[in-house]
Structure 1
């Protein structure tokens, strides 16, 4: 984008976010640092890291929920559960590969995500609350390991097709 912007012609952050982003990118490329909306730009850059952490937490919660269902309802195991477990592990791994500084993030979020996943597992399975452990029974290395599946061993032909 080779537009030349005058300061008064710049789109305010609150008015049109997409346009503001395009203009800020153009200003950076043109080296017009004094014309940048530094405060909002800094906030946006900082929020990128927070959004990756939130995504890891969300994916970790989904992963733990499915591990709980897998381990505590072996007779109900579904292909969809398997696919969800594999996908969440894969996506978390990709986020960490792209931002290695987030490697400790899943370990730090494990307890909090387990607590909510446990409640969801109780609601989804209909099993009594006492059926599920209060503390996470999994180590983070196992949670993220593509070969780890809790509970009884299984064969692909034993899965219920969704």
Structure 2
């Protein structure tokens, strides 16, 4: 069974699912199954952190480059909020994860914003100027008067 895991992952998944349905426990590649189950949790956390970074990146660009605001930035902000909300609805145990990742995500967003815009990262505050509650609030968006 482990040869399929390395040579044809999709086939391994199908066979493992069939073995589980058939209660053929002794034939299951337990080591790789445990590895894959654990990676599912890591993948969900990585997804939330990635969406949070993307959200913060576009909020920074929205605030610091109002002349370049676009519908695509607004779409990205809206989509990131939605994706984070859906991930947490699907896995409520991850509700605190955005709080845990907030500072790291902000620092990544800050660096990315600097690189993308070709400006010094020091232009952006060292600490996030927005609260997590506002960042995730679907009704909140910086307006030019807030800058």
TM-score, normalised by the number of residues in structure 1: 0.84
Aligned to 1:159: none
Please state whether the residue corresponding to 1:13 is helix, strand or coil.
helix
Aligned to 1:152: 144
Please state whether the residue corresponding to 1:101 is helix, strand or coil.
helix
The structure with the greater share of residues assigned to helix is 2
Whether 1:138 and 2:125 are equivalent positions in the alignment is: no
Aligned to 1:4: none
* Alpha-carbon distance, 1:10 to partner: 7.3
What is the distance in 2 between the residues matched to 1:126 and 1:141?
A: 29
Q: Is the 8 A contact 2:2 2:29 kept in 1?
A: no
The farther-off stretch of 69-78 and 97-106 is 69-78
Runs of at least 5 residues in structure 2 that lack an aligned partner in the other structure: none
Aligned to 1:88: 80
What is the distance in 1 between the residues matched to 2:145 and 2:37?
A: 45
Please state whether the residue corresponding to 2:4 is helix, strand or coil.
coil
Q: Pick from 88, 92, 95: which aligns with 1:103?
A: 95
CA deviation string 1:19-53 (max 9, x = no partner): 11101000000001111111110110111011000
Runs of at least 5 residues in structure 1 that lack an aligned partner in the other structure: 1-8, 155-162
Segments ≥4 residues shifted beyond 6 Å? none
* Alpha-carbon distance, 1:11 to partner: 4.9
Aligned length: 146
Q: Pick from 118, 122, 136: which aligns with 2:114?
A: 122
* Alpha-carbon distance, 1:113 to partner: 1.0
What is the distance in 1 between the residues matched to 2:39 and 2:132?
A: 25
TM-score, normalised by the number of residues in structure 2: 0.92
